Amino acid sequence: MIEPRERQNPFGLPDTLLRSLDALSRKPPKDETRGVLRQLVEQRDWSLEELAELLPQSDRSLLNNHIRPLAKTGELVYDARSRRVRRRRS
């Protein structure tokens, strides 16, 4: 994860979302991580590696603890072949 003071904004994220990312602790509660994850996928599609760069978890942890459960409930879509995450389109 990139430290807050070093964070650039290569993805063009809104300032409010950057502040939410910066506010996450090293091991945030699941609901906080999932809240920020939901905000991120509202912005655009992401690779698992990009999300692991932004969030304070490894790609494996994000996938097992957050992305797969959210995909199972239909809140987002995970494509295992491309390792990309996107919001569920209505």
> Which 3 state secondary structure label does DSSP give 72?
helix
The conformational region for residue 83 under phi > 0 = left, psi -120 to 50 = alpha, else beta, is left
Report which of 44, 27, 39, 43 is spatially closest to residue 70, judged by C-alpha positions.
39
Q: Which of 3-17, 31-45, 68-82 has the weakest average pLDDT?
A: 3-17
Q: What percent of the chain has pLDDT above 90?
A: 71
Check residue 90 and give its pLDDT: 66
- Tell me what pLDDT residue 5 has: 44
